Amino acid sequence: MGADSFTLLDILRRAAAHKGLKLQNGEPPCLSEPITTYRLDERLLAVLEDNGIRRQPRSDCTHEIFTLVDENPQKKIPGWSSSDYWNFKLVANSKTKFDMKIILCVGFGFNYKARGISLVPHAPGTFVSPVDQLPNFRMFRALVQSGGATPAVAKELAASDGTLTVTFTDLGLGGIRSISQLFSEFAGGNGIIDEIGLNGDVFEPAPHPRNQQPGDELFVAEPSQGKVFDAWKNQLAAYRAKLDVA
């Protein structure tokens, strides 16, 4: 397949570069390198308060933690508590000054339904940060819209509904599909062929490689997909011939 084959990380890196970003880690879930950092001074804390992100007194009465909570409505997930707050610790050797920084970055996810890579805003702080997407988006949006120089992708995300999509067509990869998707089509619902594919010794490229890491999943651009089908067809025929001889 040569230049027409890509790992998931290859595609995520390409999507990041398309928006002027770089990945900071080498395995999913992937985040970009920091876009910019905001130090939360009185002006920015007032901006956040106007957006429903407010300081909340701590029930444990500690004076060593500063807590901001997104008090806007949250998406409820049965069995899970909302992750909607940021904790900041005191600066080393200080009794009154907190390390109040928010680092803007972008998360990346493969989105088959949207036919592309989803970009999602992240706004971690310096100690404890929310996991839920909505609080991250609200913090990200409030800070970007507060003014100052930020890259275009940050402004795009702030103006979005919480996610952007870089399509496979944008990346020159229209019609790309994973090896597992292609093999499912090749097997056509035949359980025996599916089982042979799980074996890992008959088909190359292997539809279900052993010990595959998430970022190593293989994808094939449209021009080479027919070649993969042809290879599998020939390999299946050779496997059957061996069984007939036996």
Report if residue 14 sits inside a domain.
yes
Q: Are residues 89 and 147 in the same domain?
A: yes
Answer yes or no: is pLDDT of 1 > 70: no
Q: Which of 134, 167, 200 is the last residue of a domain?
A: 167
Digit-coded pLDDT (tens) for 164-210: 999 999 999 999 999 999 999 999 999 999 999 988 889 999 998 88
Q: Are residues 157 and 37 in the same domain?
A: yes
Digit-coded pLDDT (tens) for 30-40: 899 999 999 99
Instruction: Quote the pTM value.
Output: 0.86
The whole domain housing 196 covers: 177-245
Digit-coded pLDDT (tens) for 57-98: 876 656 789 999 999 988 887 777 789 999 999 998 888 899
Q: Are residues 131 and 154 in the same domain?
A: yes
Q: Are residues 134 and 232 in the same domain?
A: no
Q: Are residues 33 and 154 in the same domain?
A: yes
Q: Which of 132, 167, 202 is the last residue of a domain?
A: 167
Tally of domains in the chain: 2
Report if residue 3 sits inside a domain.
no
Reduce the DSSP state of residue 117 to 3 states and report it. strand
Digit-coded pLDDT (tens) for 119-158: 999 999 999 999 999 999 999 999 999 988 889 999 999 9
- For residue 62, the model assigns a pLDDT of 63
Answer yes or no: is pLDDT of 246 > 60: no
Pairing of strands 218-220, 53-55: unpaired
Instruction: Kindly state the average pLDDT of the residues 215-235.
Output: 92
Distances (CA, A) of 180 to 83, 89, 206, 208: 34, 46, 9, 7
Task: Name the helix (H) or strand (E) containing 52.
Answer: none
Q: Are residues 22 and 72 in the same domain?
A: yes
Q: What is the Cα–Cα distance from 125 to 235, expressed in whole angstroms? A: 53
Report if residue 152 sits inside a domain.
yes
